[in-house]
Amino acid sequence: MSNDRRGAMSRRKFLGVMAGTAAALPFLDLSRVSLAAEKGKPKKGGQFIFPMDYEPVHFDPHISTNQAILYFTNMAMSGLLRCKTGLGSDPEKWQFIPDLAESYKQEDEVTYTFQLRKGVKWHNLPPVNGREFNAEDVKYSFERIATPKAGFDRRTMFTVVDKLEILDNYKIKFVLKEPYAPFIPYVASPFNKIVAREVVEKDGDAKKTLVGTGPFILESYDRGGYAVWKRNPDYFVKGLPYLDEVQMPVIKDPSSIVAAFRTKRVDWMWTSIATTAESVQKSTPEAVMEKFFDTGIYHLAFNLQKKPLDDVRVRQAIALTIDHEALIKTAFNGEGAKQTPVPIGFKEYAAPYDILPNYTRDIPKAKKLLAEAGLANGFKVTIQTNTYYVFAVNSLPVLKEQLKEVGIDAEIKIMESAAFLESRTRKDFEISWMAHLAFADPDEFITIFYGTDGSRNYGFWGSPELDKMLHQQRTTLDHKKRKEILYGIQKYLATQYYSIPTPMPYYYEFWHPYIKGFRAAPPLFVTIGFQGISKEKA
Amino acid sequence: MRQYILKRILLTIPVLLGVSLFIFSLVRLVPGDIVVLMLQESGNVSSEAAEQLRVELGLDKPFYIQYVVWLKKVFAGDFGESLWSRQPVLNELVKRIPITIELASLSMIFAILISIPVGVISALKQDKFADYAARSFSVAGISMPSFWIGTLLILLPSLWFAWSPPIIFRPIWKDPVSNLQQMIFPAIALGFNISAVSMRMTRSALLEVLRQEYIRTAWAKGLTGKLVIMRHALKNSMIPVITILGNQFGTLLGGTMIIETVFSLPGVGRLTVDSIFQRDYPQIQANVLFIALIFVFINLVVDILYAWLDPRIRYR
């Protein structure tokens, strides 16, 4: 039992801290903590404890959009490329670096050749039994990702691939049908891992057996309990990982995670609730904290088959009614930012607010638009959301009052997760406040949601004009030109308002100072970074 | 007595059949189709894909056929596979039973250890300070939800003493110290409410017994207070207390769902909650049947205890 009495405090002091925290909330500075330069060689050995708030229901990365699966697959598997993690990385600026590919070359606008690492071994577990990784594995995996079958959500990422040529055991060429700007981000997407053919042939899928070429091997997983990972002694990056073991206990209760972090029962935690972050920062001042915006999105999605939401003037009026700053103040305690049609996490591509129409609250204009649409007296509408979307749940009462100002009577429906997801999938809603995971590239969001045949077009959104612009941005390799097209798309989306992007909270990640080599990373690939971290104390 | 016990055991079968039909229907009526839930990860779900998966999962057949097929397998000891992991649901359930049984037992022990002494003191010191304090404790215990007590028990020690319970569960036979460190607070959180209710019943039952003539006779005979209370009064006042404790056991089993989630204990309660959110029908059905079986068993034990406490009670 750890009875470290540093940080112990009397009840009076605790109450004082809580009162002080409450008083200081608008003023406490949750700036990014500057990270002190780390000196000395990383220490080999030790155990890192990472709490899991969600558990994977299976291990197949190709047929999932659930980030819990990535906690596991990022540990055991590798991709051709991966997102940079650790020292020198920036959670708000994704960089794609070699993983199983030691390099790649873009021969022309449509041809990419990947030079694979030699001597890489699969985990020494059945059915792969430590055999060598080769180009066949890459071809198999990317053809599998593009399987034209329900379940393979990211198939649309690679339908652009015309040919996959194996040049030799360690070289593979992708020839695309047309230039494709998001190709490299998609190759590097944490979901697009290289899977072993033997696993899929044995089980019919990769859901049950978790083997890969990654830095850690799953030793045991007690569902509902914890997972134990051991260092892969044959990992292709010599000297890594430093850690002997990673333990991932399942802790779903936020208070338990906070308490466990304070008492060093776990080495890392995250939250997107500002008051929790402030409380942790105050009670554990020695912990390192970093905050950033994710590339995910919250948005108020309209079902265009429900009247009067099929009228663009009505949707614009609703957009003009929303006071985003008030929502940030209420739901995020002032710690957040207005969202843009391309998530603000994509710093370079998210349009500045001042170029987007209908982005500033304007009640008279909203009323005028409703009157033009024949709804001067307002109308009734149901807004639903998921109990898990804390920000939406906290914001809805505020939004309801805002909409009342233009005569819109909103009925709030907070739904249990499975019921919400079914209603969303069946398109059985009027307005739905949705939330989505981080995306590897702006194209991943805007195409699958707003393309007329997008796989997640939940509200009958899109138009031929927009499809043309989406195709244009996808096939423009020049970064500056692509940015201009994306700005144009965002202006279009801020006119049509198929959905209204709603404020984004920060992600706060905390870790103890004895963890070295770590930088905050989106949950989508945070566990990739474990290969490069070390622990100062045992 | 033997005949009575046998009769009660046989009566368990129709009870469990009724529970099974009820839960089988209820999970399928709740909004949130598992087929859609499984496929929604890939965005829009085509009706063909949904139908194909429905057939794979055996959910395409009429309700009554699904129920009969499932029931036949249950009688053969096969409770089916998880719709998500495709592993036998019994494996997962059996693994977690000891944790929930331990939690429920510790909670009940805590409740009894608190409620009976406090109830006795409260009755003996009626209308004195100790009585008021005990009754205030009882009101507090009834009013405070167990999950709130649980959250306080997690957060406050971490702030005051820089201590929190171990997060990785170790069975009591492998590491008793770590196990008890992890179980004691959830047991308190769960048992607190029960102890409050039981304390009030102990108090009022004992007050009633203390007014009986045979107790007056015992005092008149010059017996010590300890003898009067422990030998004569307490045992006779226990019948309503045992009834309450037995009824509360159902509350306790339900409470494990919340407390196991708050304290990250991998028990049956948390498994049931997760299965409900995932609409994992076979797992939910197996878990609920297990809880119903435990509840029926506890009620039988309570009835047998009555007979032991009060020789006048005889069953046929």
Residue A391, SS3 per DSSP: helix
Amino acid at A221: Y
Give me the pLDDT at residue A101, please.
Answer: 97
For A50, nearest residue in chain B (alpha carbons): B167
Greater confidence (B51 vs A496) lies with A496
Chain A positions in Cβ-Cβ contact with residue B48 (cut-off 8 Å): 150
Q: CB within 8 A of A64, min separation 6: which ones?
A: A58, A191, B41
Are A225 and B159 a contacting pair at CB < 8 A? no
Is the Cβ pair B42, A150 closer than 8 Å?
yes
- A55 vs B contacts (CB less than 8 Å): 274
Rounded to two decimals, what is the model's pTM?
0.87
Contacts of A458 in chain B (CB under 8 A): 44
> Is B58 at the interface with chain A, CB within 8 A?
no
Interface list for A 477-496 with B (CB within 8 A): none
pLDDT at A26: 34
**How many contacts does A have with B, using Cβ atoms within 8 A?**
168
pLDDT at B250 over 80: no
- The verdict on B164 touching A (C-beta cutoff 8 Å) is yes
Comparing A203-207, A483-487, B5-9, B154-158, which segment has the lowest mean pLDDT? Answer: B5-9
- Interchain contact B156–A (C-beta under 8 A): yes
Of A14, A51, A223, which has the smallest distance from its Cβ to B160's Cβ?
A14
- Interface residue of A12, A13, A425 to substitute, partner B, most B CBs within 10 Å: A425
Distance in Å, alpha carbon of A429 to nearest chain B alpha carbon: 14
Neighbours of B207 (CB within 10 A): 16
pLDDT of residue A13: 45
CB contact under 8 A, B177 and A14: no
B64: pLDDT strictly greater than 50:
yes
Task: Report the number of secondary-structure helices (H) and strands (E) in chain A.
Answer: 16, 22
- Residues B268-295 have a mean pLDDT of 92
Q: Quickly count: other Cβ atoms within 10 Å of residue B222's Cβ.
A: 7
Selected residue of A53, A208, A253 to mutate for chain B interface (largest B Cβ count, 10 A): A253
CB-closest option in B43, B156, B157 to A455: B43
Q: Looking at residue A15, what is its pLDDT?
A: 43
- Predicted local confidence at residue B304, as pLDDT: 81
Q: Is A433 helix (H, G, I), strand (E, B) or coil?
A: strand
* B33 contacts A258? CB cut-off 8 A: no
Residue B172 CB coordination number (10 Å): 16
Q: Is the peptide bond before B62 cis (omega within 30 degrees of 0)?
A: no
* Helices first, then strands: H and E counts in chain B: 13, 0
CA A488 → CA A43, A481, A494, distances in Å? 50, 11, 10
- Tokens 């470290």 sit on residue: A4
Mutation for testing the A interface, residue in B168, B170, B180, B273 having most A CBs under 10 Å: B168
**CB–CB contact B32 A253 (8 Å):** no
- The CA-CA-CA angle for residues A252, A258, A260, to 5°, reads 85
Give me the pLDDT at residue A36, please.
52
Nearest by CB to A64, from B41, B160, B278: name it. B41
Are the Cβ atoms of B158 and A259 closer than 8 angstroms? yes
* Residues sharing a CB contact under 8 Å with residue A285, sequence separation 6 or more, in sequence order: none
Best residue in B92, B93, B151, B164 for a mutation probing chain A (most A CBs within 10 Å)? B164
pLDDT of amino acid B315:
59
Tell me the ipTM for this assembly: 0.85
B129 touches chain A (CB under 8 A): no
Quote the tokens at residue A419: 């019921």
Structure letter (DSSP) for residue A524:
T
For B3, counting Cβ atoms within 10 Å of its Cβ (0-12 exposed, 13-18 middle, 19+ buried), the class is exposed
Q: What is the pLDDT of residue B239?
A: 81
Q: Which residue has the tokens 């490069």?
A: A532
Chain A contact set for B159 (CB, 8 A): 9, 14, 262, 283
**Which residue in A has a C-alpha nearest to residue B279's C-alpha?**
A418
**Does residue A265 sit at the B interface (CB-CB below 8 Å)?**
yes
Question: Among residues 78-107 of chain B, which lie with CB inside 8 Å of chain A?
Answer: 84-86, 92, 95-96
Q: Does B166 touch chain A (CB under 8 A)?
A: yes
State the smallest CA–CA distance between residue A230 and chain B in angstroms: 17
pLDDT at residue A19 in the model: 42
Q: What are the structure tokens assigned to A305, written together?
A: 């088959």
Q: What token pair was written down for A484?
A: 């201009």
Tell me what pLDDT residue B42 has: 61
Q: Does A456 touch chain B (CB under 8 A)?
A: yes
Search chain B and give the residue with CA nearest A284.
B159
Give yes or no for A228 touching B (CB within 8 A).
Answer: no
Query: Shortest Cα distance from A473 to chain B (angstroms)?
Result: 22
B33 at A interface, C-beta within 8 A = yes
Distance CA B249, CA B194 (A): 9
| Cβ contact, residue pair B278, A418, below 8 Å | yes
Best of A55, A70, A263 to substitute, by most chain B Cβ atoms within 10 angstroms, is A263
Contact by Cβ (8 Å): B121, B130: yes
Residue of chain B minimizing CA distance to A60: B85
User: What are the CA-CA distances from residue A143 to residues A62, A191, B199, B264 (Å)?
Assistant: 11, 14, 67, 40
Nearest CA in chain B to A417: B277
In chain A, the residue whose alpha carbon lies closest to the alpha carbon of B50 is: A150
What CA–CA distance (Å, rounded) separates A482 from A181?
8
Yes or no, beta carbons of B266 and A417 under 8 Å apart: no
The nearest alpha carbon in chain B to A153 belongs to: B42
State residue A27's pLDDT score: 32
* Interface with chain A: mutation pick from B51, B159, B278, highest number of A CBs within 10 Å: B159
**Best to test chain A binding among B38, B41, B146 (most A CBs inside 10 Å):** B41
* C-alpha distances out from residue A43 to A105, A333, B8, Å: 35, 39, 64
Of the candidates A251, A297, A296, the residue with the CA atom closest to the CA atom of residue A270: A251
How far is it, in rounded angstroms, from Cα B181 to Cα B169?
A: 10
A-chain residues within 8 Å CB-CB of B270? 224
| Residue A52 token pair | 């899991």
Query: Is A1 in contact with B163 (Cβ distance < 8 A)?
Result: yes
- d(CA B156, nearest CA chain A) in Å: 9
- Residues in B closer than 8 angstroms to A1, CB to CB, are 163, 177, 181
**What type of residue sits at position A185?**
P
The CA distance from B312 to the nearest CA of chain A, in Å, is 48
Lowest mean pLDDT among A289-293, B43-47, B288-292: B43-47
The full DSSP string for chain B is -HHHHHHHHHHHHHHHHHHHHHHHHHHHHSS--HHHHHHGGGSS--HHHHHHHHHHHT-SS-HHHHHHHHHHHHHTT---B-TTT-SBHHHHHHHHHHHHHHHHHHHHHHHHHHHHHHHHHHHHTTTSHHHHHHHHHHHHHHHS-HHHHHHHHHHHHHHHSS----SS---TTT-HHHHHHHHHHHHHHHHHHHHHHHHHHHHHHHHHHHTSHHHHHHHHHT--HHHIIIIIIHHHHHHHHHHHHHHHHHHHHHHHHHHHHHTT--SHHHHHHHHHHHT-HHHHHHHHHHHHHHHHHHHHHHHHHHHHH-TT----
Put simply, the answer to whether B40 touches A458 (Cβ < 8 Å) is: no
What is d(CA A479, CA A442) in angstroms, rounded to the nearest whole number? 13
Residue pLDDT tens, chain A, 538 long: 333 333 344 444 444 444 444 433 333 344 444 455 566 788 899 999 999 988 888 899 998 777 889 999 999 999 999 999 998 898 888 899 999 999 999 999 999 999 999 999 999 999 999 999 999 999 999 999 998 876 787 888 898 999 999 999 999 999 999 999 999 999 999 999 999 999 999 998 898 899 999 999 999 998 888 999 999 999 999 999 999 999 999 998 999 999 999 999 999 999 999 999 999 999 999 999 999 998 889 999 999 999 999 999 999 999 999 999 999 998 888 999 999 999 998 888 999 988 999 889 999 999 999 999 999 999 999 999 999 898 899 999 999 999 999 999 999 999 999 899 889 988 999 999 999 887 889 999 999 899 998 888 999 999 999 999 999 999 999 999 999 999 999 999 999 999 999 999 999 999 999 999 999 999 889 999 999 999 987 4
Q: Say if CB A267 and CB A273 are below 8 A apart.
A: no
Kindly report, residue by residue over B67-86, the tens digit of the pLDDT. Answer: 999 999 999 999 999 988 78
C-alpha B169/C-alpha B166 separation (Å) is 7
Write out chain B residues lying below 8 Å of A225, CB-based: 168-169, 266
C-alpha distance from B33 to closest chain A C-alpha (Å): 7
Taking the Cβ of residue A247 and every Cβ of chain B, the question of whether any pair is shorter than 8 Å is answered with yes
Helix axes A11-24, B146-160, angle to 10 degrees: 100
d(CA B166, CA B179): 8
Strands A101-108 and A111-116: antiparallel
Element (H, E) at A149: none
- Residue pair A515/A269 in contact (Cβ under 8 Å)? The answer is no
pLDDT, tens digit (0-9, with 9 covering 90-100), for B188-210: 999 998 999 999 999 999 999 88
